[in-house]
Amino acid sequence: MFYREAGQYKSTYAADMAVFPLRQDRIGIAVILAIAFIGIPMIGNDFFIATVMIPFLVFSLAAIGLNILTGYTGLISLGTAAFMGVGAYACYKLTTFFPGVNIIVLILISGLFSAAIGVLFGLPSLRIKGFYLAVATLAAQFFLQWAFVRVPWLFNYNASGAIEVPLRSLFGIPITGASASAETRYFVCLGLVVVLTWFASNLVHGRLGRSWMAVRDMDIAAELMGIKLLNAKLLAFAVSSFYAGVAGAMMIFLWYGGGEAADVFNIRLSFNILFMVIIGGLGSLIGSFFGAAFIASLPTILKFGLPALGVPLSGAAAEHVTFMLVGALIIIFLIVEPHGLARLWQITKQKLRTWPFPY
């Protein structure tokens, strides 16, 4: 009885078309944001924030980008990690050229470089699709990963080939570099993810999102209806790559704190992000968070949670168990529920709206 529409009247078209039409949903979002901004920093320690929450936020943003391309537009991509790498290296070069600019601004600008590269490699989508498009984006993954290693200008001719994250502060508080605390980096990641998720929600629920879904369902019919496939597909690649680029810059500057990015943004990372979208749910923003939460937290739970409960499990064994669980869940979801965890959450909410009645 606590999750009903009874008594919640809409007097405007805007209220009727709201993303969260029920008051309980809006309260739930407010509670989640309060827990994220207040509860977790108060309760969680640095280890939990650095190894669980920051990776979860980074992967969520990358999964949202891939979901816009694959889930909403129906274009398969296996090069998400490469576009993340473009954002990381672009942010590194921007910090070199513009040392006085705020690092948060540079992280967002780095996504524009990823968007440009994504549009370039998205041009084949105008002629090919399906398996052939997946192979084309896979070629982008290998080419860009090769460039990260073979073009020394990208890493400022560093002998180790690694990205060295400089110290950058905001209002006197370090947010990148060795002296930046995990809590500060978490707040920056959380702020970026909240703002970009709100922006993505407005995109997919607007005219552009409807055109993407029309292209996904049947591109020929969408073109006959007046939707320009060139604009729709390339814009989907641009927006998806922008989110991937910002996520890649966040991964290096706010999570890892430096390192050899060429080894980080490999084909395995591209597949992991694709698995997040599959398990979480294609064509669902909340599914991106579900999938990222599951895959980002699973290794930590197996490595540290099970031994804390008395179940001995080595690091290598935990990694193998992670592979097996993720693979089994992908098969199960593709067979039983192709729309992933987001669909299960939607079914649960629908049951609550009619509970205790069976209809």
The whole-number average pLDDT for the span 31-47 is: 90
216 in a domain, yes or no? yes
On whether the pTM is more than 0.85, the answer is yes
The Cα 18–Cα 193 span in angstroms is 21
* Domain contains 13: no
In this structure, is residue 103 part of a structural domain?
yes
Amino acid 359: pLDDT = 62
Please state the domain count of the chain.
1
User: Is a pLDDT exceeding 90 seen at residue 333?
Assistant: no
pLDDT band at 223 (very low <50, low <70, confident <90, very high): confident
Does residue 3 belong to any structural domain of this protein? no
Listed residue (121, 45, 39) closest to 83, CA to CA: 121
CA neighbor of 80 nearest in space, from 72, 69, 90: 69
Q: Is residue 60 one of the residues assigned to a domain? A: yes
Q: What is the CATH number of the domain that holds 180?
A: 1.10.3470
Measured distance CA(74)–CA(282) in Å, rounded: 9
The Cα 87–Cα 9 span in angstroms is: 45
Q: What percent of the chain has pLDDT over 70?
A: 99
User: pLDDT for 270-284, tens place per residue?
Assistant: 999 999 999 999 989
**282 within 8 A of 71, measured Cβ to Cβ:** yes
pLDDT band at residue 117 using 50, 70 and 90 as cut-offs: very high
Q: Of 16 and 86, which is predicted with more confidence?
A: 86
Question: Does any domain span residue 162?
Answer: yes
Specify if 4 maps to a domain.
no
Whether residue 34 lies inside any domain: the answer is yes
Q: Which structural domain range is residue 123 located in?
A: 22-354
d(CA 234, CA 253): 28
Distance CA 338, CA 335 (A): 6
